Structure 1
Amino acid sequence: MLDQPALVAAALDSLDDVFYVYDTDAKLVAWNRRLNDVFDRTDEELRGTPAEEFFVDADRERVQAAVAEVFDRGETSVEARVETAGPAVRFQLTGHRLVDDDGAVVGFSGIGRDVTVEHEQSVRLSLQNERLESFASVVSHDLRNPLQVAIGLVDLERDERDSDRLGRVAGALDRMDRIVSDVLTVARDGSDLEDPTSVSLAAVARDAWGTVDTGSATLDVRTQTSVEGDPDRLDRLFANLFRNSVEHGSTSSRPGADDAVEHGSSDGADGDGVTVSVVDTERGFAVEDDGVGIAPDERERVFDAGVSRTADGTGFGLDIVRTVAEAHGWTVTAAESETGGAAFEFDLGLLDPSADDD
C-alpha cells in the first residue's frame, strides 16, 4: 500500500493538467509526469528551469510579470504559449504563493491547463461575429435603402393608377422588407442579455399585440408571470408568435364537428376569428391558439431558419422566437393546444426535472 507522499505523487501524475512548484528564485523544483510528457524532457533536464524559459519569446515578459505578481499579491493567472515536443500549445497558468510555518515565502505552486482549442474557438467566433456584423451593415444600408425607395415609388404609382400587377409588386416588396428586418434581427441579437430587468409577460404581450396586424383575431392574456429579461427582445418574441397564429391559425380552415369535408385553406391574413392565449404553465408559460395547429412531424423544424408554412412567410419568425428564448436561458417547444391549435410552450426552468419522478 502506498504511503501518503507516494499516494499524493501518484494522484498528481494522473492529472491531465501540468502541476508545478517553483522556489523563490522561480526555478522549477517539483512537478508531475504531465510536464515531462509535454516537453519530452527527463527529470534532470527539467529541474531548476526558470519559469519563463518554457515559453515562446513573445510571451516570456508576460510570464515574468505573473511570477512577480504571485510573490507580491499571493496569486496570479496568465495565458502563454509554449513550444512543446509537438505543436505550440497555449496554457492557462495559475500561481499561488507558498509559505512555511513561520510565514516565510518559500516559492509558489500552480496548474497549467491546455486551452489551445478553447482559444482557437474564441478567435473563430470573434471572426464570425465580425463577418456577421459586416453582413448586417450591408443588408441595412446597401439593400434596405434602395428597397425603401422602391416601396415608396410603387405606393405613389398605385395612388395614381393601381393594378393587379402593381399590387403583386407591392406584396413582393413588402415580403422582401420583412425578410430584411428578420435577417437583421437574427444577425444583431446576440446570445447574451445585457442589463436584464423585471418584465411582466402580460404587459409585454399586450404591447406586442398592438404592433401586429391582427385583424379580427382576439387576445386572451391569462398569465401573472414576471421574468428577468430584455423587454425589447421579449416584445419581438410575442410579436412573432402572434403573427404566426394570425397568419397560420385561421379557424376557417378547420373542419366543423359534423363536417367531413376539409375547407379550403385560408391565408389567415385577417386572423379570421382565431383566439390567441398567453397562459401560465407549471414550467413557465405558453402562447396558444385555437386555429389549425401544427402537424406533429413539423413541430421540430418550424423553428429552423428559412422554414415557412406559407408562400409569403419569411421563415425567420419562429427562429427569432427560439433565439430570444435561448438568450433568456429558456427552451421552447411546439405542441398542440387543448383546442387542437398550435401551442408554443416555454420552459423557464421553474421546476426541477427530477421532481417528475417523485
Structure 2
Amino acid sequence: MDDQCRVLAAALETLDDVFYVYDTDGRLAYWNARLNELFGLTDSELSGMDPTEFFVADDRAAVEAAIAEVFESGQTTVEARAETTEGVVTFELSGRLLTADDGTVQGFSGVGRDITDRREREWHLQRQNERLTEFADLLAHDLRTPLAVTSGHLELAAEELSPERIDAARDGLQRLESIINDLRTATREGALATDEQAVDIADVATTAWNHVETGSAVLEPPPPIPVEADPKRLLRLFENIFINAVTHGPVRDDRVSDEERKAGTTDITVRLVPTADGFAVEDDGRGIDPDDREWVFEPGASRAADGTGFGLYIVRAIAEAHGWTVRATAGEHGGARFEFDIDADTAC
C-alpha cells in the first residue's frame, strides 16, 4: 500500500459514518471500523456479507431495490433501520457505481449516515403540528356555537337597543369570527403540502384585489410573472398582503375620520413588481418601522385595534410552504415592501 492509500484508509477510519464497498456480486469487500463498532462483528464475520443482512426485515426490500438501482442507474439513496450496539438506528444509505478505466463495473461504494435524531425531530414536529391543528379545530367548533347563539339573541335585542350598541356588538362578533378563521388557517397553511402548477402571479393578484374591500386604494396593473405555485394558497397570500396595505398602509392624517380610515377610503397605491429573485408587493403608505419588520410576521402581531394579528403570519407560512422566503423592507416611495424570493427551480 503506497502513502496515498494509507492516508486515505486512515481518513476513512476517522469517519463517524459507515463507509463500505461492495463487489459486483453485492458482497461486502471493504469497510471502515465504524461498521465493526455498530454491529459488534469481526472483519472475518463482515467479509462477504449481503447488504440486507444488516437491516430489519421490514426494510430489506427497500435495500434490495436500492442495490438494483445503483447497478442500473449508477447511484442510489435509501433509508433503512438496523439493530446496532447503540440501539435501533435509522441510516441514510448512499451508493455509487465503481468502474475501471475501461468502463468495467467493479461494484459500488457508499456511506451510511445515522439520521435517527433527525427523523425523531421530524416526527415530533409533525405530531406537534397535528395537535395544534386539532386544537384549532376544537377551539373553532367550541367558539362558533356560542357565537351563533349570541348572534341570534342580538338580532332579537335589536328591536329594543340603540343602533349604536347593536353595531358595536356586531363588530365584536365579526372580529371573533375573523380570529377563528385566521387561527385555523395559521395552523394549516404551513404544514400542508402545496398543489403547485404553472400560474401567472398577475392574474392571481388581480383576483385577490377584487376579493378585498379596498375603498379608493388602487392596484397598478401588474406585469406577467409566471411561477409554479398553488393558486388557492397564492390567492390567500395576496388577499392578506392587500388587506394589510389598505388597513395599515395609509399615512396618518388627523383630518381623516376613523370611519373613513376603517372603510379604507384613504388613498394608497399598491404595486406588484418582478425582482431578480422573484417578486415584491409594495405600497406608498406609511411603511413599517425597521424595528418591526421581522415582528410583523409573528402570530398575533398587530397594532390595529380590529386586527387579528395572523395576516402576515399566514403570508409567511404560505410562502414557506412553497419553499419561498419573504421579508419586509421599505418601498420605493417610503411605504411597505414585501419581497418574495423564489428558489431557482420554482420559477417557470
TM-score normalized with structure 2 length: 0.78
CA drift of 1:11 comes to 4.8
| Aligned: 1:177 with 2:159 | no
What does the per-residue CA deviation read over 1:297-317, in whole Å, with 9 as the maximum and x for residues that have no partner? 222211111010112210001
Task: Give the equivalent residue in structure 1 for 2:113.
Answer: 113
Which AA in structure 2 matches 1:319? Y
Which segment is superposed worse, 110-119 or 296-305? 110-119
The CA distance in 2 between the partners of 1:46 and 1:111, in whole Å, is 16
CA drift of 1:345 comes to 2.9
TM-aligned CA distance change 1:35 to 1:240, over 3 Å: same
Task: Give the equivalent residue in structure 2 for 1:271.
Answer: 264
Task: Give the equivalent residue in structure 2 for 1:258.
Answer: none
The CA distance in 1 between the partners of 2:201 and 2:61, in whole Å, is 52
Is the 2:204–2:235 Cα contact (8 Å) retained in structure 1? yes
Is the 1:70–1:96 Cα contact (8 Å) retained in structure 2? no
Task: Give the equivalent residue in structure 2 for 1:225.
Answer: 225
CA drift of 1:42 comes to 4.6
Which segment is superposed worse, 232-241 or 139-148? 139-148
| Aligned: 1:326 with 2:320 | yes
Name the Cα RMSD after superposition: 3.8
TM-aligned CA distance change 1:158 to 1:217, over 3 Å: farther
Task: Give the equivalent residue in structure 2 for 1:63.
Answer: 60
The CA distance in 2 between the partners of 1:293 and 1:340, in whole Å, is 6
Task: Give the equivalent residue in structure 1 for 2:31.
Answer: 31
What does the per-residue CA deviation read over 1:45-86, in whole Å, with 9 as the maximum and x for residues that have no partner? 64466656645xxx1464378459847994776544334343
Task: Give the equivalent residue in structure 2 for 1:195.
Answer: 196
CA drift of 1:44 comes to 4.8
Say which of 284, 303, 310 aligns to 1:309: 303
Task: Give the equivalent residue in structure 1 for 2:341.
Answer: 347
TM-aligned CA distance change 1:337 to 1:104, over 3 Å: closer
Is the 1:274–1:290 Cα contact (8 Å) retained in structure 2? no
Q: Which runs of 5+ in 1 are unaligned?
A: 255-261, 351-358
SS, match of residue 224 in structure 1: coil
CA drift of 1:120 comes to 0.9
The CA distance in 1 between the partners of 2:98 and 2:329, in whole Å, is 59
TM-aligned CA distance change 1:183 to 1:8, over 3 Å: same
TM-aligned CA distance change 1:82 to 1:8, over 3 Å: same
Which AA in structure 2 matches 1:170? R
The CA distance in 1 between the partners of 2:141 and 2:229, in whole Å, is 29
Task: Give the equivalent residue in structure 2 for 1:123.
Answer: 123
Which AA in structure 2 matches 1:112? G
Which segment is superposed worse, 321-330 or 8-17? 8-17
CA drift of 1:273 comes to 2.3
Structure 1 vs Structure 2: percent identity of aligned residues?
Answer: 47
Task: Give the equivalent residue in structure 2 for 1:168.
Answer: 168
The CA distance in 2 between the partners of 1:140 and 1:23, in whole Å, is 60
Q: Which runs of 5+ in 2 are unaligned?
A: none
CA drift of 1:178 comes to 0.4
Task: Give the equivalent residue in structure 1 for 2:209.
Answer: 209
Is the 1:288–1:337 Cα contact (8 Å) retained in structure 2? yes
The CA distance in 1 between the partners of 2:64 and 2:140, in whole Å, is 49
The CA distance in 2 between the partners of 1:19 and 1:240, in whole Å, is 50
Query: How many residue pairs end up in the alignment?
Result: 338
TM-aligned CA distance change 1:114 to 1:148, over 3 Å: same
What does the per-residue CA deviation read over 1:251-276, in whole Å, with 9 as the maximum and x for residues that have no partner? 4x24xxxxxxx768847212232223
Task: Give the equivalent residue in structure 1 for 2:241.
Answer: 241
CA drift of 1:175 comes to 0.8
Q: How does 1:252-271 map to 2 (within 5 A)?
A: 253-254=252-253, 266=258, 268-271=261-264
CA drift of 1:189 comes to 1.6
Is the 2:196–2:228 Cα contact (8 Å) retained in structure 1? no
| Aligned: 1:17 with 2:17 | yes
SS, match of residue 242 in structure 1: helix
SS, match of residue 84 in structure 2: coil
- Bigger radius of gyration among the two: 1
Which AA in structure 1 matches 2:300? G
